[in-house]
């Protein structure tokens, strides 16, 4: 029997109009957006459907918008494939909260409230620091670690073989980019982001999130959830909370997380949420697994057809 894992999108995948065509088609998805609006006391649906882009891109908007859109994509898939089963889930950065919600560890209300507060804490940290990030392409891992130490920046994302994202103060990232180019990186590209995510510059956000998480009721996941910090499942609710807090300043070990799932026998993956970034990363991690995605009505139909084949 094939083993299926669900993957949930992270920040940067957002686009104006996300979720709209699926909501036009499925009443259950419209209901979910209405519930989200009620929980947060603001019109999240309008930001997703109409933007403008600068508003959607703000961290405190992008994170809850992506979480809701990703869960709406899952609802739409379940409405078309009622017997859908999955044994594991994972999410990139904020997507980890979506995965935990899909797995029943968090209620929809708690998951949404948590990710909105996380987004606000991170936006505040961005506003109070001068941070940046850069993507380093095709550089020896040992050499990149040396560059990060010399420039005093952090490794934020280990996305796939040959692609690593670094994070830190703007001037230090600029130095790291030049060092990386000089020491063998095929490309070193500064990213257009609001701040230095998954770095020490997010320390204030991490501390605030820890305080909030202490008050949240969480349950054991119904399926295996692989966490960004360890690239492994957690043992117990206490460890889940601890890993969610640590994730704010820690490296996202995405490639290793996918390799662990594949090592556990998972051969089928479904990316849920806007864009197809995770599908692209999987092609670099392992080309032998089946990778499907649901981002809109067209990709939903294609995925349903593949699952039925």
- Of these residues, 132, 198, 221, 257, which one is catalytic? 198
Kindly provide the b/e burial profile for residues 136-168, where b requires at least 16 CB atoms within 10 angstroms of the residue's own CB: beebeeeebeebbeebebbbbbbbbeebbbbbb
Which sign, positive or negative, has the C-alpha torsion 219, 73, 91, 133? Answer: negative
Interacting residues of 131 by C-beta distance below 8 A, sequence separation 6+:
167, 168, 169, 170, 173, 195, 196, 197, 199, 201
- 268: annotated active-site residue: no
Q: In residues, how long is the chain?
A: 309
169 with 131: CB under 8 angstroms?
yes
Interacting residues of 21 by C-beta distance below 8 A, sequence separation 6+:
296, 297
What span, in angstroms and rounded, lies between the C-alpha atoms of 70 and 98? 7
User: 294 pairs with which residues across the strands?
Assistant: 272
- Of these residues, 93, 167, 221, 257, which one is catalytic? 93
- 13: annotated active-site residue: no
Catalytic residues: 93, 198
């Amino acid at each position: 029997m094939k083993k299926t894992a669900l993957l949930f999108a992270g920040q940067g995948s957002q686009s104006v109009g996300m979720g709209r065509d699926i909501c036009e088609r499925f009443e259950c998805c419209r209901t979910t957006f209405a519930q989200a609006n009620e929980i947060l006391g603001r019109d999240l649906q309008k930001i997703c459907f109409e933007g403008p882009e600068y508003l959607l891109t703000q961290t405190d908007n992008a994170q809850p918008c992506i979480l809701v859109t990703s869960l709406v994509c899952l609802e739409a898939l379940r409405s078309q494939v009622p017997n859908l089963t999955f044994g594991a889930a994972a999410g990139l950065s904020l997507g980890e909260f979506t995965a935990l919600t899909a797995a029943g560890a968090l209620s929809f209300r708690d998951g949404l409230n948590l990710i909105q507060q996380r987004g606000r804490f991170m936006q505040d940290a961005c506003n109070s620091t001068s941070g940046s990030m850069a993507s380093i392409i095709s550089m020896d891992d040992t050499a990149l670690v040396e560059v990060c130490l010399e420039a005093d920046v952090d490794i934020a994302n280990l996305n796939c073989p040959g692609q690593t994202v670094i994070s830190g103060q703007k001037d230090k990232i600029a130095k790291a980019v030049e060092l990386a180019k000089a020491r063998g990186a095929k490309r070193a590209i500064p990213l257009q982001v609001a701040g230095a995510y998954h770095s020490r510059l997010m320390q204030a956000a991490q501390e605030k999130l820890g305080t909030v998480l202490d008050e949240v009721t969480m349950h054991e996941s119904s399926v295996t959830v692989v966490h960004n910090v360890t690239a492994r499942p957690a043992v117990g609710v206490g460890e889940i909370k601890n890993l969610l807090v640590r994730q704010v300043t820690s490296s996202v070990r995405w490639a290793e997380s996918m390799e662990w799932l594949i090592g556990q026998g998972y051969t089928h993956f479904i990316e849920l949420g806007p864009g197809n970034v995770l599908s692209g990363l999987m092609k670099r991690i392992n080309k032998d697994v089946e990778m499907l995605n649901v981002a809109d009505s067209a990709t939903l139909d294609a995925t349903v057809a593949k699952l039925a084949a």
